[in-house]
Structure 1
Amino acid sequence: MHCNEPETWYVIQNKEDQHCTLASRLNQFYQSDSSERIIHIPEQLGQGFWQLNRIHPSMELVHSDATFHRATSLSSVERDNSIKLSFCMGESLSWSIDGMPGEYEVNTLECAAFGSQHTSSTCEFALHQHFKGFTIKLDQTTLSETIQHLPIQHLTKAIRGSSGGFYNQKMSTGMIRMVNEMIQCPYTGELKQLYLNGKALELLAVYLSECIMDRSVSDNHQGLSRTDRTSLNKAKYIVDTNLAHPPTLEELCRQVCLNEFKLKKGFKQLFGLPVHAYVIEQRLQAAYYLLESKQMNITTAAATVGYNKTSHFSAHFKRKYGKTPSAYFNHSPS
């Protein structure tokens, strides 16, 4: 395998098993010239697959869905000049990068943007964890005219300015819906390519709008010092990680060292919603994913995201999506 092979995303190796069948299959998978390909995990290692669709010369889509019967570590060397957007639809995934301290992680319903540099990394697949991801790869050397009109330069700037070259953001409900629609594509052949192309461009536009352009504008809001923005981002993180039981406004102020006026005004200014409305929005997005992926029934999903009464959850859901959750998903409440 040589560095001048442009079609190769990664060179993959299992350092504990030089004859690893999965590593061999993945290398063949990424080197293949076919526009659509799939490999399955060897039964002795686990179950699941990697599937790739090259929808045109500048864009490839990879869907992976895997559960391992034993802990597995795969190392990869990335050599091409491309940008990747990886959407985590399953359990959290962590990895380390040679020469960089600590570990990197993308959590459930987060998107990681990375690329445009040569890296060597190792990913740990834990026993029985369900890894499910969807990646869009953009080849910067052959960007089509359509994609060139998107503000890709803002994405590369965000990646360069992020820690370790990985720019992680939370997925919105719209992104979750679009990724699921591509995973569950109902078409085959040329119609499938057309459908995936349109959906991928739609997802790119939404991602750039919500995670790159809006954030760039927010960061330039006047009246917020760098210290204030740091405290407000910390407040958002605390809320995001405690959706079911968020702290009171008073407690949140104490934790981030802001007075109530600065917290309420700054949070809305930076993130577009008051704290309470933001909590409701994030709860509804989390519940939408749980119901869309059929992981839970309505009652359990409502309780998981912090609603003590299913009726309150249903009212909020209908206000946002136009239908009650039972009508939207055709689910039984319990």
Structure 2
Amino acid sequence: MSRIDFDDSQSTDISAVFSFIPFKENNNVKQPLPAELGEGYVTTVHLGPSMDVMIHSYRLSVNLNGVKKRGEGQKDNVVFSFRSVFTESIAGNTAEPNTAVSLLPSVQISTGDMEIDFSFPVNTMINTIILTVHKSLLLELIDGNDAKILLQTLIAQDKPFLYEEFISPAIHDIAAKILKPEVTGELSTFYYRIRCEELILMFFVEFLKRKSLGNYILNPQDVKAVYRVRDKIISNLTAPPQLSSIAEFSGMSESKLNRIFKQIFGNPIYNYHQKFRIHEAAEMLKGGKMTVSEVGYKLGFTNLSHFSKLFKRYMGEKPKRFSRK
């Protein structure tokens, strides 16, 4: 099976994989993915001196593993990665539906100089919008005293940061409009810029629900360990996580693990597990092939009334009403 790995003897920047894209020379054009990587395309749109967007839509035919290295001169850029935001695949997928691996529907925000590991197995469906914005533009977009104070604290940090949030229905809706733009031709760049600003807005609507951002200094090893913990606890959504065994698995103390996990994901480990269960339930209900009770029991809820209350807390409405949409 084909595999692409990066090590210290090679360029470890993931942009090297996409060096086939003539970024500003071929603006707003679908660039087919090289056959050795998979099938689908990447589109880049230059939205001005302080904002760029890349739309990734493809299925990988290789395992892709490596590290996004700290970019030179990227310290003042903020990167928003909206993953699995499309409600339908826009890649040329010839694989059987049950062989495709989907990424978690989430939004990851980080500084451009944050080092992040990546690992995508063969057949992964990549439906992602990557938005790069200069900090100065973000400050211009911020409005409101409370929001301004919190976000200025975020943007003014003189150290790499990384946070992650679940994707909201509003973000899904905006992503659909980016996927199928309502305006083309000479005004298309203007259109994309407005939609990208909407994505930023709806991300911060969710992000500002956090009471604090945390200020623990992140290093690549800790980030990698916390994401391995996240993957472990969501691998079995029917069983609540046991903090002592998870801390041992991570190689951290319980207090350090809790602190970094909450800083990145905005929730303690147990709460995140519960929230993820509900978001998984929502995805299952969207398929329309399972009843509310079937979804609840499949995810380990023995009390459907409790399941309904949790669902409403996180999704804003009861699962029956959600499923009818």
**TM bracket, shorter-chain basis:** 0.5 to 0.7
Give the distance between the partners of 2:266 and 2:36, measured in 1 at CA: 49
Deviations 1:246-278 (A, max 9, x none): 05xxx6578779xxxxx9xx99x9999999876
Matched, 1:133 2:125: no
Once the two structures are superposed, residues 162-189 of structure 1 have per-residue CA deviations (whole angstroms, 9 ceiling, x without a partner) of xxx46243x23xx332432222016324
CA contact (8 A) 1:176 1:289 kept: no
Given candidates 212, 215, 219, the residue that maps to 2:213 is: 215
Contact 2:114/2:161, CA 8 A, preserved across alignment: no
Question: For residues 255 and 298 of structure 1, what CA distance do their matches in structure 2 show?
Answer: 33
Match of 2:55 in 1: 63
Computing the radius of gyration over CA atoms, which structure comes out larger, 1 or 2?
1
Q: Does 1:38 align with 2:30?
A: yes
Determine if contact 1:55/1:197 at 8 Å carries over to the other structure: no
| Partner residue in 2 for 1:112 | 108
Asked if 1 retains the 8 angstrom alpha-carbon contact of 2:51 and 2:134, the reply is: yes
In structure 2, give the amino acid aligned to 1:52.
Answer: T
Distance 1:206 1:144, change over 3 A: closer
Shift of the 124–253 alpha-carbon distance from structure 1 to 2, 3 Å rule, reads closer
Q: CA deviation at 1:39?
A: 1.9
Alignment CA distance shift 1:42-1:324 (3 Å) = same
Task: Trace 1:190-269 onto structure 2 (pairs within 5 A).
Answer: 190=187, 192-193=191-192, 195-206=194-205, 208-210=207-209, 214-216=212-214, 242-247=236-241, 252=243
- The question of whether the paired residues in 2 share the 8 Å contact of 1:45 and 1:68 is answered with yes
Question: Relative to structure 1, is the Cα distance of residues 55 and 326 closer, same or farther in structure 2, using a 3 angstrom cutoff?
Answer: farther
Instruction: Give the Å deviation of 1:282.
Output: 3.7
Contact 1:159 1:167 in 2 (8 A): no
User: For 1:217-272, what per-residue CA distance to the aligned partner results, in whole angstroms no more than 9, with x for missing partners?
Assistant: 9x8xxxxxxxxxxxxx99x968666542105xxx6578779xxxxx9xx99x9999
Contact 1:79 1:118 in 2 (8 A): no
1:143 aligned onto 2:113: no
The number of aligned residues is: 259
Verify the 8 A CA contact 1:110 1:168 in the aligned structure 2: no
Whole-Å separation in 2 of the counterparts to 1:304 and 1:56: 47
Aligned-residue CA RMSD in angstroms? 4.9
1:68–1:84 distance in 2 versus 1, CA, 3 Å: same
Asked whether the equivalents of residues 24 and 46 of structure 2 are also in contact (C-alpha less than 8 Å), the reply is no
* Residue 76 of structure 1, CA deviation: 7.4
For residue 216 of structure 1, give the secondary structure of its aligned residue in structure 2: coil
Contact 1:58-1:144 at 8 Å conserved across structures? no
1:68-107 superposed Cα distances (whole Å, 9 cap, x missing partner)? 22345688774443221223328xxxxxxxxxxxxxxxx7
Question: Could you say what secondary structure the match of 1:127 adopts?
Answer: coil
Distance (Å, rounded) in 1 between the aligned partners of 2:139 and 2:302: 50
Superposed, which structure 2 residues align to 1:176-195 within 5 Å? 176-185=168-177, 187-189=182-184, 190=187, 192-193=191-192, 195=194
**Separation (CA, whole Å) in 1 of partners of 2:162 and 2:83:** 13
**Higher-RCO chain (CA-CA 8 Å, sequence separation at least 6):** 2
Question: Match for 2:25: what amino acid?
Answer: S
**Which of 16, 35, 42 is the matching residue for 1:13?**
16
> Under a length normalisation based on structure 2, what TM-score does the superposition of the two structures give?
0.57
Q: 2:311 aligns with which of 306, 317, 325?
A: 317
Quote how far apart the aligned CAs of 1:325 are: 3.0
Matched, 1:86 2:85: no
**For residues 296-329 of structure 1, what are the alpha-carbon distances to aligned partners after superposition, in whole Å with 9 as ceiling and x for unaligned?**
7455643454324666534543465454434324
Unaligned regions of 5+ residues in structure 2, if any? 1-12, 86-102, 217-225, 249-254
Q: Distance in 1 between matches of 2:137 and 2:24?
A: 20
Q: In structure 2, the residue corresponding to 1:246 is in which secondary structure?
A: coil
Whole-Å separation in 2 of the counterparts to 1:301 and 1:307: 9
Deviations 1:131-164 (A, max 9, x none): 3322221124x6276336555553356682xxxx
What fraction of aligned residue pairs are identical, expressed as a percent?
14
TM value normalised by structure 1:
0.56
Q: Are the structure 2 counterparts of residues 75 and 298 from structure 1 closer, same or farther at C-alpha, using a change threshold of 3 Å?
A: same
Distance change in 2, residues 1:320/1:112 (3 Å): closer
Would you say the 8 A contact 1:13–1:75 is kept in 2? Answer: no
Q: Measure, in 2, the Cα distance between the counterparts of 1:158 and 1:240.
A: 31
1:286 alignment partner in structure 2:
280
Rate the CA distance shift 1:154–1:38 in 2: closer, same or farther, 3 A: farther
